[in-house]
Amino acid sequence: MKTILEYLKEELEKAFEKCGYDKSAAFVTRSDRPDLCEYQCNGALRLAKSARKAPLDIATDVADALKDSAVFSMAEAVKPGFINLNLDEDFLASCIKNMALSERFGDDRALKPKTIIVDYGGPNVAKPLHIGHLRSAVIGEAIKRMGRYCGHKVLGDVHMGDFGLQMGLVICGLKEEHPDMVYFDESYEGEYPVDAPFTAADLERIYPLASARSKEDEAFHKEALEATASLQEGRRGYTALLDRILDISIADMKANYERLDVDFDLWLGESDAQKYVPDMIKRMEDEGYAYESEGALVIDVSEESDAKEVPVCIVRKSDGASLYATTDLATIVQRVRDYDPDEIIYLADKRQSLHFTQVFRAAKKCGIVRPDTELRYVGFGTMNGKDGQPFKTRAGGVMKLSILLDEINEAMLDKLISNKEEKGEDTDKAKLEEISRIVALAAVKYGDLSNQAKKDYIFDIDRFTSFEGNTGPYILYTMVRIKSILRKYREQGKEISSEAICRADSESQKNLMNVIAGFNGVIEDAFENLEPHRICSYIYGLCDSFNRFYHETRILGQEDEGKKASYIGLIALSLNILEICTDVLGFKAPESM
Ligand code: ARG
């Protein structure tokens, strides 16, 4: 189905042509002055020069040509040459009805399905998930779902950090506490135990200790570097230990991601790509892309058009170790081999921008990917506290994700309870706890997603859990309100039907219909630009329009049954659209709240 703007554009094109003007100027946008009109066309201003005519005269010609149009109830030329447009009520109603009756509500643009991998989450093994990983998980999950909605085959890969110095630190920290463990005995040739000799809590304790110590104790730091190198070289005991650390860590991560309603198709990590490194490096050298520089092996990735110098991409350090870039390149080798993706999308902190520029260029240059494979990076900003500094615990430490989620659940529950008390409604604690978990998740996710990803934002529990303003709870509250009206309507023994939708009889209803008509293409556009916040702005606008209509209209109390059925059809469609959008964003509405 065409989008409403495409329809209107066609209608305008006919009018431009009829008047002898170039139809390429016939573009239509939603009005930026909704008090004056619903849509507008500014094409006359653009044509003035080539047509050698005053823009207002052109606009007047076009507006005259639209006088008998069945699409517009008003087409008016205004200074200096705008064409203000309002839709004909019957035309709008038939658009909405069509939409409601079509598959996927008319959101069915034909597209070439691609195979896409989304690399997000990026947790580091043996370290607890912290809030820095929250954004990656939340935005990545939304992007994955947006891609799927658009008909692509999308795989999410958690891409764990399981191969760096942190592994060496954990190994040495453990050795310190349990020097007798068989994993550390180099002469041991037997099988290693399958059960882990430690818990997630042990790991959480060991890593920070080891990390702090390595900063002060030079010898310990060196030992950790050596352990990392031995692990990378495949030392048996360390490899077995890594497997056990992974078991424990992954179970812990899964529990956290489950709370966030985030899930991955692939649980791969940096270590899974290591076996592709030697061949890849050899090819890079043989084909002349990689060369020695100050003992390291590097690839030139600068381009003439670079405004700022892009340094060489180092694929092997002088001590023989691989780096972050090496691993990311080898992971691409692996992905091409196993999935042949048309596109790979990476989510990472925006400070990693240079890294991804280097990796993408090196991958293209060395032919690791096809020239037409799209490699895209979504760099996100920092989540700050109210003080504008990176979000911390009250004690000033790094906030663990699970604690943050507990806090927001609690805040949400308090709000729900006091809301109920205010209204004198019953407060069944167990039920409210369940509801508050659903709403709290929406509060966190919407609070993140409604911002442009690249911007820093302030994590403000008070604001995020508010039922008013541009927040998750406001969106859900609106959805719950619609659900409740529809439930009552059904209880009256009536059926909801899109067939019943007819022309608007108020300004607020027409406005709601115009917003609904704008749904087609919203998710596609957001996906094309990898900008979930576009979907948030759309649903926020939709909720506002619905609420205005709701406050100004007697819906269930309406006496004219035809009108009532039409209202009901319209708000049911609003709910359908809100459900699609929230699902794509990664949260849902409860039945009541
Ligand atoms: N583990 C990394 C971190 O915590 C993020 C990984 C991002 N993805 C990637 N393919 N490099 O910063």
CA of 72 to the centre of ligand 1 (A): 52
Q: Which residues pair with 290 in a beta bridge?
A: 299
| Residue 278 near residue 297 (C-beta atoms within 8 A) | no
Q: What are the two backbone dihedrals, phi and then psi, of residue 465, each rounded to the nearest 5 degrees?
A: -90, 5
335 lines ligand 1 (CB under 6 A): no
Closest-CA residue, ligand 1 atom 2, reads 122
- Report, as an integer, the average pLDDT of 5-33: 93
What separation in Å is there between the alpha carbon of 300 and the centre of ligand 1? 23
Please determine, for residue 246, whether its predicted confidence score (pLDDT) is greater than 80: yes
Query: Does ligand 1 have an atom closer than 6 angstroms to the CB of 140?
Result: no
Please give the structure tokens belonging to residue 210: 């080891």
Ligand 1 and 328: CB distance under 6 A: yes
Strand pairing category for 457-458 and 296-299 = unpaired
Cα(269) to centroid of ligand 1, in Å? 10
Residue nearest to ligand 1 atom 6, measured at CA:
122
Q: Report whether 401 contacts 334 (CB < 8 A).
A: no
From the list 77, 63, 41, 147, the residue with the least C-alpha distance to 526 is 147
Cα 162 from chain centre: 24
Locate the ligand 1 atom nearest the alpha carbon of residue 355 and give its number: 11
> Tell me, what's the pLDDT at 428?
86
Least confident of 418-422, 513-517, 531-535, 580-584: 418-422
Q: What is the mean pLDDT of the chain?
A: 94
Q: Name the DSSP class of 384.
A: E
What pLDDT is attached to residue 536?
98
Q: How many CA atoms lie within 13 A of 356 on its CB side?
A: 17
pLDDT digits 0-9 by tens, 541-559: 999 999 999 999 999 999 9
Give, for ligand 1, the residue of 139, 264, 267, 352 to mutate: max count of ligand atoms closer than 8 Å to Cβ: 352
pLDDT score of 304: 94
- Go through 297-322 and write b for each residue having 16 or more CB atoms within 10 A of its CB, e for each that does not: bbbbbeeeeeeeeeebbbbbeeeeeb
**C-beta of 124 in contact with ligand 1 (< 6 A):** yes
Question: Is the CB of 119 within 6 Å of ligand 1?
Answer: yes
**Taking CA 563 as the corner, what is the angle to CA 557 and CA 569, rounded to the nearest 5 degrees?**
95
Residue whose Cα lies nearest atom 5 of ligand 1: it is 122
Give the model confidence (pLDDT) of 76-117 as tens digits: 999 999 999 999 999 999 999 999 999 889 887 767 899 999
Q: What pLDDT, on the 0 to 100 scale, is given for residue 110?
A: 63
Distance 440 CA to ligand 1 centre (A): 27
168 C-beta closer than 6 A to ligand 1? no
Write down the pLDDT at residue 362. 98
Instruction: Measure Cα distances from 323 to 220, 276, 283, 298, 320 in Å.
Output: 21, 14, 17, 11, 10
Looking at ligand 1, which atom is closest to the CA of residue 328? 10
Q: Which amino acid is at 226?
A: E
Binned at pLDDT 50, 70 and 90, residue 216 comes out as very high
Best of 117, 124, 376, 380 to mutate for ligand 1, by most ligand atoms within 8 A of CB? 124
**What percentage of the chain exceeds 90 in pLDDT?**
82
Instruction: Tell me which DSSP letter residue 124 carries.
Output: B
Element (H, E) at 166: helix 165-177
The Cα 255–Cα 301 span in angstroms is: 40
**346 in helix, strand or coil?**
strand
Distance 114 CA to ligand 1 centre (A): 24
Per-residue pLDDT band at 388 (split at 50, 70, 90): confident
In degrees rounded to 5, what are phi and psi of residue 399?
A: -80, 125
Question: Is residue 564 within 6 Å of ligand 1 at its C-beta?
Answer: no
437-465 per-position pLDDT tens digit: 999 999 999 999 999 999 999 988 999 99
> Rounded to whole angstroms, how far apart are CA atoms 375 and 359?
10
C-beta 163 within 6 A of ligand 1 = no
Ligand 1: which residue has its CA nearest to atom 10?
Answer: 328
| pLDDT exceeds cutoff 80 at 397 | no
What's the CA gap between 468 and 538, in Å, rounded? 16
Is the CA virtual torsion 554, 555, 559, 560 positive or negative?
positive
Closest atom of ligand 1 to CA, residue 356: 11
Report in angstroms the alpha-carbon separations of 36 from 43, 71, 334, 548, 549.
18, 18, 57, 18, 19
Q: Could you tell me what percentage of the chain is helix, strand and coil, using 3-state DSSP and rounding each to the nearest 5?
A: 55, 10, 35
Does ligand 1 come within 6 angstroms of the Cβ of 130?
Answer: no
Q: Is 450 in the pocket of ligand 1 (CB under 6 A)?
A: no
Give kind and range of the element (H or E) at residue 383. Answer: strand 383-384
CA dist 365 and 358 (Å) reads 10
- Tell me if residue 74 falls in helix, strand or coil: strand
**Cα pseudo-dihedral 382, 386, 388, 389, rounded to 10:** -70
Average pLDDT over residues 385-414: 83
Distance from the alpha carbon of residue 122 to the mean position of ligand 1, in angstroms: 5
Return d(Cα 48, Cα 57) in angstroms, integer. 9
Tokens of 333: 């080798």
Per-residue pLDDT reduced to its tens digit, 301-332? 999 999 999 999 999 998 888 899 999 999 99
Quote the pLDDT of residue 277: 94
Least confident segment among 37-46, 128-137, 443-452, 548-557: 128-137
Which residue has 């926020």 as its token pair?
540
CA of 164 to the centre of ligand 1 (A): 11
Q: Is 223 in the pocket of ligand 1 (CB under 6 A)?
A: no
Amino acid at 172: C
CA of 420 to the centre of ligand 1 (A): 43
Q: Of all atoms in ligand 1, which is nearest to the CA of residue 324?
A: 11
One DSSP character per residue, 320-340 reads S---HHHHHHHHHHHHHHHH-
Peptide bond into 80 cis (omega under 30): yes
Residue with tokens 């042949």: 340
Q: Is the CB of 164 under 6 A from ligand 1?
A: no
- Tell me if 202 CB under 6 Å of ligand 1: no
**Inter-CA distances, 457 with 390, 398, 539, Å:** 10, 17, 20
